[in-house]
Structure 1
């Protein structure tokens, strides 16, 4: 029997490109993902360059936090006005806001007026609608595609974000050897302008669907959070995920300062760290199918502990080759965590409530990494980059051990009444 010919796209993804709106949207989403990937390096590096002497750590922490944290505020403050907008307009509004504020960064740099306070304010303004833009993106995919194709579309769009963690830092590291990181932030602005234009043009491709869009927020997110709180296992995985993301936050501040201060190296090495982490994360995510055959809770806790172990060598003054290898291995370990945590929610949540509970999960997690990042600045200034990286790893290991102990204790508590009942009836 002759094997079927090899095709460039898997069968699952090919039908997506029959939709004109999806064909228009995907390249623009990939461009904005690449821009954000470059900003992983550029935002922190520019903060280090413009900070006053001795203030690099707090300025870098404030800059990285400002690039994400105001989205949590915007999700609450602007909900009254934005929740009724069609997804296309939400995505376009967020993209235009990011393009405008990020575009002001290279202009201020060229004019010689990019003070750290102005820089942080521009980054904060760029992110204030980003939570709504993300919600609009996935709602728009659901709007323009039939139900049976949405899972494949979500996977393809999510893989674009993962790939940007590989390509973006490497490209930023290469460009930063020739131009200021301010211009790299400007490229991020251009990528969002492209996305804004494409999202606005989708009116022609989606037809009447955009005028009758279902609101992104149907008002049930509070009820979904209450449901999570009534189920100890869901509450446990939510608390574990929030804590893991929170402890990850200081890494984004301490790593660039470790490269500049401890290793006396340049942006190319920082890009290498993040690129190899991204490669590892993609490899780990691809392996999640095999991991799901194992017990989800033990594997999830093992991932948390493994990521913590990968950070500990930074505090031991390990050679660069060792720390780079550990960071890449940390990416492999960290990569499957999101998929596994979603799988736990999917298994433990009633089907009718799954969308609402996942929305509540996203809202609760929105502040974790930015808050950790904001605290990472003062901690790095007080302790130094190496101790902060190592402390993040040790605290993450302690988190895994604590969560495992609480889970064992919970099993014992639940099984004790049954045992006592058997004793009384014996």
Structure 2
């Protein structure tokens, strides 16, 4: 990694609180990388004969989907909390719930039902934890460094998807899947302690001063209502949901395409996923260099290029062509989430940001599973390659529509709230009923008709 590539990330490493949090964030990302294999493998071991596929699907869903319910059910109590509190509580719940799995194993009471229930509990606060991390970024860094910080957090996850699965395979062979889950739990315990030790009391007090009292907090659906009132955020959420939904069928069609159409082995499928992961890692490192680009145009371009990069698979290109194209798709995919989050950070002040990001996470976390569910019958009815081609073409068309919308006169003006200048400074940026000069206005104060 060259010094020039690291240049956009220097302000992130230079921020004292973030610099001390980064090791914990990297550790928990590695834990999640291990869990990619360990969660499904332990489900296969615990499930009764003849029901392994069903319980494995339940385990995968339980590790992600309950967070959507947690966003709605817990919104009244969590909506006014600081970024550090939300992220710390999520890490604590994950550590406790995942840690209960090896404890139940030692006690001899672990069965597949309890296992899935504990996985579901571990993911209950996940959208709030993710929202908390990116809210903390907005609280600690000036706006011009948000994209680089978002990208750096994404790079940890991208690197973990490359390193984690093979390391998990070695650990499972050595000590068993249940103890790999224990390592995942320990990684979140490290992160929870990091939040506890690193975030200073004065910062926590500052956020408490502007947080709503527990009994008078925001409603459970306030994040969704804020997005619905802001046409720009609503359009961004719609684009993200459609983008992730249309990629979902690839998880079904891709393995079938490799085995049936290409007549290749599981190693070929693994090579595709590895190429995608390597491309994502490079793309994540490059994301910080896009900070001067218009965010809406960048997002539209990402979707267009991603659809184009998937076309060789749908057209039946040989592996020598489709494999590097899939790596290019990974490179293009990586900047999407950091860029979309940066747009949310610009549109919403830090009081509303946790609710807005949690609502966004609750919707988008459903997109890929819903798309994957569609991929099964689509692949059965039309075949793997036509399904891949249809998804690629539809994603490309979606990006072109988004590009036309982003090119409208005045569209880029919706990327910031209020005039430039005072907002682009270090330190917390807040909203509330007593806005003072230099604070970002809440989304409900955006002028009518903004998009």
The answer, yes or no, to whether TM exceeds 0.5 is: yes
The aligned counterpart of 1:415 is none
TM-superposed deviation, 1:407: 7.5
Q: Distance in 2 between matches of 1:318 and 1:113?
A: 50
Look up the SS of the partner of 1:68 in the other structure: coil
Give the one of 304, 311, 315 matched to 1:302.
Answer: 304
The aligned counterpart of 1:419 is none
The structure with the largest helix share of the pair is 1
TM-superposed deviation, 1:126: 0.3
Q: Distance in 1 between matches of 2:54 and 2:334?
A: 28
Q: Distance in 2 between matches of 1:181 and 1:96?
A: 21
Describe the superposition over 1:21-77 as per-residue Cα deviations: whole angstroms up to 9, x where unpaired. 434321111101111122223223433444445544443332222111111111111
Q: Distance in 2 between matches of 1:108 and 1:250?
A: 36
Q: Distance in 2 between matches of 1:63 and 1:394?
A: 29
Rate the CA distance shift 1:238–1:7 in 2: closer, same or farther, 3 A.
closer
Describe the superposition over 1:68-120 as per-residue Cα deviations: whole angstroms up to 9, x where unpaired. 11111111111222234444333232112111221233444566655433332
Give the one of 21, 26, 38 matched to 1:30.
Answer: 26
Given the alignment of the two structures, is residue 13 of structure 1 paired with residue 36 of structure 2, yes or no? no
Give the one of 199, 206, 209 matched to 2:203.
Answer: 209
Describe the superposition over 1:369-414 as per-residue Cα deviations: whole angstroms up to 9, x where unpaired. 4454267469659967x956863563342243366469879999xx
Q: Distance in 1 between matches of 2:321 and 2:363?
A: 32
Given the alignment of the two structures, is residue 247 of structure 1 paired with residue 246 of structure 2, yes or no? yes
Q: Distance in 1 between matches of 2:257 and 2:28?
A: 28
Q: Normalized against structure 1, the TM-score is what?
A: 0.71
For residues 48-87 of structure 1, what are the structure 2 equivalents within 5 Å?
48-53=44-49, 55-87=51-83
The answer to whether the 8 Å contact 2:87/2:133 transfers is: yes
The answer to whether the 8 Å contact 1:87/1:210 transfers is: no
Q: What is the aligned length?
A: 392
Describe the superposition over 1:301-330 as per-residue Cα deviations: whole angstroms up to 9, x where unpaired. 4234235436537xx6977x7776554343
Q: Please provide the CA RMSD for this pair.
A: 4.6
The answer to whether the 8 Å contact 1:228/1:357 transfers is: no
Rate the CA distance shift 1:260–1:93 in 2: closer, same or farther, 3 A.
farther
For residues 368-407 of structure 1, what are the structure 2 equivalents within 5 Å?
368-370=364-366, 372-373=368-369, 376=372, 380=376, 391=387, 394-401=390-397, 404=400
The aligned counterpart of 1:199 is 195
Describe the superposition over 1:231-286 as per-residue Cα deviations: whole angstroms up to 9, x where unpaired. 5xx644432320221233455577789999997758xx876654432210122344
TM-superposed deviation, 1:122: 1.5
Deviates more, 1:206-215 or 1:54-63: 54-63
Structure 2: stretches of 5+ with no match in the other structure: 409-451
Look up the SS of the partner of 1:38 in the other structure: helix
TM-superposed deviation, 1:156: 3.2
The answer to whether the 8 Å contact 1:62/1:374 transfers is: no
Describe the superposition over 1:182-233 as per-residue Cα deviations: whole angstroms up to 9, x where unpaired. 322221111001111222223xx5132212314499776345322344x5xx
The aligned counterpart of 1:336 is 335
Q: Normalized against structure 2, the TM-score is what?
A: 0.68
Give the one of 122, 144, 147 matched to 1:126.
Answer: 122
